[in-house]
Structure 1
Amino acid sequence: MNLCVLGATGRTGLHILKLAAADGHSVSALLRDSSKLPVELAGHIRTVIGSARSKGDLLSAMDGCDAVVSALSTDGGDLLSEATPLIIEAMKETNISRIITIGTAGILNSRTEPHLLRYESSESRRKLTRAASEHRTAYEMLQRSDLDWTIVCPTYLPDGPVTANYRVEADRLPVDGTSISTGDTAHFAYTCLKDELFVGRRAGVAY
């Protein structure tokens, strides 16, 4: 498989790179700074220096790829709402249909108030909703596209290794889920990519 990874040097993105490289996949990574790529991965990754805010850079990174995994964060601003429509356009122009993105548990359905998303409901303990709102915008854009999308929605996300031992639920957070490591979030996203799980769905993931 030829895979394009966005947000590849972030906390979750690096785990995705390692999983793909270990399986021998051809990986293209769009990077702002190639010095952040670990030396042990450099020989396995085709790097494109650029920005997810540039459609041209996205097209270069996606050239020849079969699927996209985006571990882009909000970057403290409007990165997702600016980049997502460009990602969708670039995918259509390069004839790629499959995308896995890393979202947030805030955009899952609330259990206590089913008409609300978690970040809008009493389930959420966060007072600031800017990041969740950005993720919601990206989610709604993907919903309107005709792509085969999956949004992996972790709850509290500490750094940690792959254990491959976690729970998953479509569109909601598993009951009493409180955390999930960056490694296991990447592992589940990678599993969705290989097995085409949760197409057109959000997937809550937690221990």
Structure 2
Amino acid sequence: MKLTVLGATGGTGKEIVRQALEAGHQVTAVVRDPARFTMTGEQLEVFRADLTDAHALRPAVAGRDAVLSGLGARSRKDAGVAARLTRTVLGALETEGVRRLVVVSAAPVGPEPEGDGFLDRTVRGIVSAVLKDIYADLREMEAELARSATDWTVVRPPRLQDKPLTGTYRRVVGGFPRGGRFLARADVAHAMLGAIEDRTTVKQGVGVAY
């Protein structure tokens, strides 16, 4: 497939690019600063673009089978970036007629797992309070997706870890795995790539965790 990856210099974005190339896909990695992106490959194109400009982004998404986004705030001071940039991305996709879009969000934005214990609920409440601005940004991003004409999927992991790919994790379409607390960025990327051709995930949030 021909894929475009947004946020390709981030931890999840780099994993999406790496795994997509290993699977034999043609990949366009969209970056603001190519000097920060050191990955190479015969099937890889590095595309420099300002993600606040839908017109500038259009060549990077035109003719692609799917676009995958690892965009999001890296700290509380960046809150707002996910929704703002997603609006630009949606404008470029809809202009170019590209429908499939898979993005990363976060577990607290989706529904609470059924049957979770007191500890999990307490921890979730504390984290949601501390990172409320980031999660508000992600909720607005998901609302923008829901209003769009794209065939979107939102992948919602819990706390992220920098660990190797396992390919073994739980996944709940429209919900979240009970007791799920962690997931490696590599496995988030794996879940996002796996969602591209899974029609059950279209216009759905997908909870993923170990």
Secondary structure of 2:155's partner? Answer: strand
Q: What residue number does 2:64 align with?
A: 65
CA distances 1:130-157 after superposition (whole Å, capped 9, x unpaired): 1111100010111111211100000000
* Post-superposition offset of 1:88: 1.1
Query: Within the alignment, does 1:145 sit opposite 2:144 as a pair?
Result: no
**Could you tell me which of 134, 138, 141 is aligned with 1:135?**
138
Structure 2 residues without counterparts, runs of 5 or longer: none
Q: What residue number does 1:110 align with?
A: 112
Tell me the TM-score normalized by structure 2. Answer: 0.88
Q: What residue number does 2:30 align with?
A: 30
Q: What residue number does 2:102 align with?
A: 100
Amino acid at match of 1:86: T
The structure that is helix-richer by fraction is 2
Runs of 4+ with >3 A deviation: 194-197
* Post-superposition offset of 1:2: 0.9
Paired with 2:47 and 2:140, the residues of 1 have a C-alpha distance of: 26
* Post-superposition offset of 1:25: 1.3
Query: Within the alignment, does 1:14 sit opposite 2:17 as a pair?
Result: no
Aligned residue pairs: how many? 201
Q: What residue number does 1:206 align with?
A: 209
Q: What residue number does 2:157 align with?
A: 154
Amino acid at match of 1:160: K
Tell me the TM-score normalized by structure 1. Answer: 0.89
Amino acid at match of 1:155: P
Paired with 1:111 and 1:69, the residues of 2 have a C-alpha distance of: 25
CA distances 1:86-138 after superposition (whole Å, capped 9, x unpaired): 1111111111000000100111112479xxxx99x984321220111110001
CA contact (8 A) 1:53 1:79 kept: no
Paired with 1:122 and 1:201, the residues of 2 have a C-alpha distance of: 25
Secondary structure of 1:4's partner? Answer: strand
CA RMSD of aligned residues (A): 2.1
Secondary structure of 1:180's partner? Answer: strand
- My pick for the range that moved more, 169-178 or 99-108, is 169-178
| Distance of aligned partners of 1:175 and 1:111 in 2 relative to their CA distance in 1, 3 Å threshold | closer
Q: Between the two proteins, what is the percent identity of the paired residues?
A: 28
Secondary structure of 1:81's partner? Answer: helix
